Amino acid sequence: MTKSVEAVNNRHNSEPHSKLAAAFNKDAARVGWHDETLWWVRAKRDKMAYQLPEWEALRQAASEIKSHTLANLGEYLVEFEQKAVENGLVVHWAVDADEHNRIVHGLLKGNGIDRIVKSKSMLTEECGLNEYLLKQGIDVIDTDLGERIVQLAGEAPSHIVLPCIHKKKEEIGDLFAEHLDTPKGCSDPKILTEAARQHLREAFLSRRAAITGVNFAIAQTGEFVVCTNEGNADMGAHLADLHIACMGIEKIIPRRKDLGIFLRLLARSATGQPITTYSSHFRKPDRERKIHIVIVDNGRSKQLAREQFRNSLKCIRCGACMNTCPVYRRSGGHSYHTAVAGPIGSILAPNLDMRQYADLPFASTLCGSCTHVCPVKIDIHDQLYRWRQVLVEKGYTTTSKTIVMKGMRTVLSSPMIYHTAAKAGRAILSNAPFLIGNRFNPWFQGREMPKPPKQSFGEWYRQNRAKDGE
Amino acid sequence: MKVALFVPCYIDQFFPQVAKATLHLLEKLGCTVEYPSNQTCCGQPMANAGYEYLAEGCADIFRQCFDRYEYIVSPSGSCVLHVKDHVMPRSNESDGPAVMELSEFLTDVMEITSLDASCPYRVGLHNGCHAIRGLGLSSMSEVPGNRFSKPGSLLRMVNGLELVALDREDECCGFGGTFSVFEETVSVRMGNDRIDDHIRHGAQYITGTDMSCLMHLEGLLRRRKCPVRVVHLAEILNDEIR
């Protein structure tokens, strides 16, 4: 289990995306299969979106509700807290990951609990809760099947909705043989799933505390909604004495009637289902149980203050931007070395630490597909472009890159240099963009160089067309 | 109709035949084409790499060269988008020149319905992402609604040309400017996957609105010693691929 601590530590002292992606690409067949699998999910999403004439209207409505909520977030959070407390829930506030982890640990310790179950929550991944609790001597079993698989492998999830999408069933078979006593060499999904079910059932029945995430928290009613396909959040929460729900401050929606819009968008965007199998509402605890909610900032209010990146907080964690991203599909989630990978992760992570995540906004071709699948219309690729400007301005770039860019500026900002030294200019263009910061030419590793022609268009035009040199 | 020809720097230096084809095609269709000879670059290479502040000189030159025209036409969707977004943004029609990619201009302004060109080959169309999602030259697979493609419709006017269907009609080729070198591995993989799609459907030529994507694909095709050739849309429309 200490392997998972290592995985998270590695996440924080990581090689850049390009190197991790290159490592993932050593197994070309896996890249092909990873790409095809996620493209298939994207295609399922398309089919669902195409079936709804109101699809674009739904996206627009969701985006506007989120804009309004973010503009009034403080008031809605207070309203939510007030209603939740009236309902008998206990509300905690955490300024950062550390405080969040300490609150959760305090609740468990106070109830004398050292073994818990946890359903999917990207927030707890972001906060490194599992690793923190482990250090405090508390054993956590992740009950989402995909998360349990990566947990057994000592890895972090590689995708926010499909945590073990990078793993083949044979690899899962090997893990289960080692940890859950399934027959060696067995990779039959039915047998493996049944083994996981028996294993998790024991955990559900025996563990007294359950942690869940929160998909939506409704200010008007003080209730929160947890969406799963496996029912594991419900199994955990209903069988435990103590239910701790962890949510980021951006999970708020104003009214209950807004919920339908988001539920219709979430599963269609995520997996191409009309709705998640379970959309469970938690409003009031019954007499024997306690529900605590930990509401976490962890950099979100800072992002809220960055006007050009504020929209990133609209995210409902559907993962559609990952499934559609041609770079993500071919580099794997771990190459982003952050809890939330892919395009959305690349605009969220630099907010937390620019130095550490300076590579991520460049792990994109700016193709824009992410922006157009996003169910809440986050301008993801434009934000990637803007993060690049911010990161360079703040100095999170390399000197060699700056030198090359300044060289290009000198040539391209002067018609005289550009035109009178046409051959030299051609030589600079042949070399400069392809030699940045590298001893070897990265363009040439997989590609031939363009063949420079004898004459540029400008030269040809002057010779053949220009009347007076204009 | 008078138009100004904007020739992106890398087309000027590496693919002059594309600029010539664009010039000849526009003239053939009755346009008076002016080429402001002081033009250099729109500044996109620096801006996309995060150095927008180094692109200001390019933007100034661009505006000096092109400010006085009604229409600016260019054989590059990506550079046109950069100009529209960052160099000459305009909020309405009276707000300076209209900067247009070639197929967009032919479709929306010239309203071309027929072409005197033939190209007896199976051709795959690779639309640049900026052309599709930024300029709206075709519908996007991400968004429900009517399917259309301005470059595709123009290609259908070419005699003998068979436009092949692709498995992924608008997936990125992985060029992405400096992405092609900083993320060399993924870039190459993306490009090869696009090429495989075209080969699977029997394309003899890959064409498109953006020579930058095609330069990347050409580099890969030549490395693979693959007989499939790349050719810019302007060259086909100007009846040069016979």
Six-digit token pair at B225? Answer: 């010693």
pLDDT in tens, B153-165: 999 999 999 999 9
Q: Is residue B113 part of a domain?
A: no
The DSSP-derived string for A255-271 is -GGGHHHHHHHHHHHHH
Q: Which of B17, B41, B218 sits opposite A412 (nearest CB)?
A: B41
A28, burial (CB in 10 Å: exposed 0-12, middle 13-18, buried 19+): exposed
Q: Is the pLDDT of residue B90 over 80?
A: yes
Look at residue A48 in the predicted model and tell me its pLDDT: 97
For A260, residues 6+ apart whose C-beta sits below 8 A from its C-beta are none
User: Which of B108, B142, B167 marks a domain boundary?
Assistant: B108
What is the Cα–Cα distance from A154 to A398, expressed in whole angstroms? Answer: 33
Q: What is the SS3 assignment for A243?
A: strand
Q: Is residue B181 part of a domain?
A: yes
What is the mean predicted confidence (pLDDT) over B221-239? 97
Kindly state whether residues B183 and B155 are assigned to the same domain: yes
% of chain B at pLDDT higher than 90: 95
Tell me which chain B residues have a C-beta less than 8 angstroms from the C-beta of A419: 37-38
Look at residue A404 in the predicted model and tell me its pLDDT: 85
Number of domains in chain B: 2
Kindly state whether A374 is in contact with chain B, defined as any CB-CB distance less than 8 angstroms.
no
Kindly state whether residues B10 and B101 are assigned to the same domain: yes
% of chain A at pLDDT higher than 90: 83
Structural contact between residues A320 and A269, judged by C-beta atoms closer than 8 angstroms: yes
Q: Is residue B242 part of a domain?
A: no
Kindly state whether residues B225 and B155 are assigned to the same domain: yes
Look at residue B156 in the predicted model and tell me its pLDDT: 98
Q: Is residue B69 part of a domain?
A: yes
Mean pLDDT of chain A: 92
Report the residue of chain A nearest B51, measured CA to CA. A389
ipTM of the prediction:
0.97
Q: Cα separations (Å) of A308 from A386, A390, A391, A446?
A: 8, 11, 14, 37
Tell me which chain A residues have a C-beta less than 8 angstroms from the C-beta of B133: 367-369, 371-372
Structural contact between residues A154 and A372, judged by C-beta atoms closer than 8 angstroms: no
Which amino acid does the sequence have at B19? Answer: A
Of A380-389, A401-410, A461-470, give the lowest mean pLDDT range: A461-470
Six-digit token pair at A221? Answer: 């009613």
pLDDT in tens, B28-42: 999 999 999 999 999
User: Which of B108, B140, B172 marks a domain boundary?
Assistant: B108
Look at residue A2 in the predicted model and tell me its pLDDT: 45
Q: Is residue B50 part of a domain?
A: yes
Q: What is the SS3 assignment for A421?
A: coil
pLDDT band at A448 (very low <50, low <70, confident <90, very high): confident
Q: Which of A56, A446, A453 sits opposite B16 (nearest CB)?
A: A453
What is the Cα–Cα distance from B95 to B69, expressed in whole angstroms? Answer: 11
Report the residue of chain A nearest B224, measured CA to CA. A447
What are chain A's domains? 54-301 (3.40.50.10420), 400-464 (no CATH)
Q: Is the pLDDT of residue A169 over 60?
A: yes
Q: Cα separations (Å) of A114 from A104, A137, A150, A242, A397?
A: 12, 7, 21, 12, 45
Test B133 with A367 for CB contact under 8 angstroms: yes
Eight-class DSSP state of A419 = H
What is the mean predicted confidence (pLDDT) over B83-104? 92
Kindly state whether residues B103 and B127 are assigned to the same domain: no
Strand order in the sheet with A139-142: A90-94, A290-296, A242-248, A209-212, A115-118, A139-142
Structural contact between residues A156 and A130, judged by C-beta atoms closer than 8 angstroms: no
Residue B194's CATH number: 3.40.50
Tell me which chain A residues have a C-beta less than 8 angstroms from the C-beta of B210: none
pLDDT in tens, A86-117: 999 999 999 999 999 999 999 999 999 999 99
Structural contact between residues A351 and A96, judged by C-beta atoms closer than 8 angstroms: no
pLDDT in tens, A338-372: 999 999 999 999 999 999 999 999 999 999 999 99
Kindly state whether residues B138 and B219 are assigned to the same domain: yes
User: Which of B108, B136, B151 marks a domain boundary?
Assistant: B108
- Gap from B144 CA to chain A (nearest CA, Å): 5
Which amino acid does the sequence have at A68? Answer: H
Mean pLDDT of chain B: 96
Q: Is the pLDDT of residue B4 over 50?
A: yes
Residue of B35, B41, B60, B189 to mutate when probing chain A, most A C-beta within 10 A: B189
Look at residue A340 in the predicted model and tell me its pLDDT: 96
Kindly state whether residues B82 and B53 are assigned to the same domain: yes
Kindly state whether residues B146 and B211 are assigned to the same domain: yes
Eight-class DSSP state of B204 = S
Pairing of strands B122-126, B205-208: parallel
Look at residue A427 in the predicted model and tell me its pLDDT: 63
Kindly state whether residues B221 and B143 are assigned to the same domain: yes
Q: Is residue B98 part of a domain?
A: yes
Kindly state whether residues B130 and B94 are assigned to the same domain: no
Hey, which residues 260-299 in chain A have their CB within 8 Å of chain B?
none
Q: Is the pLDDT of residue A66 over 80?
A: yes
Q: Is residue B148 part of a domain?
A: yes
Kindly state whether residues B73 and B142 are assigned to the same domain: no
pLDDT band at A11 (very low <50, low <70, confident <90, very high): low
pLDDT in tens, A257-286: 999 999 999 999 999 999 999 999 999 998
Kindly state whether residues B12 and B101 are assigned to the same domain: yes
Q: Is residue B54 part of a domain?
A: yes
Tell me which chain A residues have a C-beta less than 8 angstroms from the C-beta of B54: 405-406, 408-409
Look at residue A84 in the predicted model and tell me its pLDDT: 98
pLDDT band at A306 (very low <50, low <70, confident <90, very high): very high
Six-digit token pair at B17? Answer: 């035949």
Look at residue A450 in the predicted model and tell me its pLDDT: 82
What is the sign of the dihedral through the CA atoms of A183, A188, A190 and A192?
positive
| Residue among A241, A154, A236 nearest A201 (CA) | A236
Q: Is the pLDDT of residue B92 over 90?
A: no
Report the residue of chain B nearest A442, measured CA to CA. B181
Kindly state whether residues B89 and B137 are assigned to the same domain: no
Tell me which chain B residues have a C-beta less than 8 angstroms from the C-beta of A56: 143-145
What is the mean predicted confidence (pLDDT) over A225-253? 97
Higher pLDDT, A258 or A10: A258
Hey, which residues 339-368 in chain A have their CB within 8 Å of chain B?
361-368
Test A460 with B9 for CB contact under 8 angstroms: no
Q: Which of B16, B40, B50 sits opposite A460 (nearest CB)?
A: B16
Tell me which chain A residues have a C-beta less than 8 angstroms from the C-beta of B50: 361-362, 388-389, 391-392, 397
Domain that holds residue B75: 2-108
Give the H or E element holding residue B124: strand B122-126
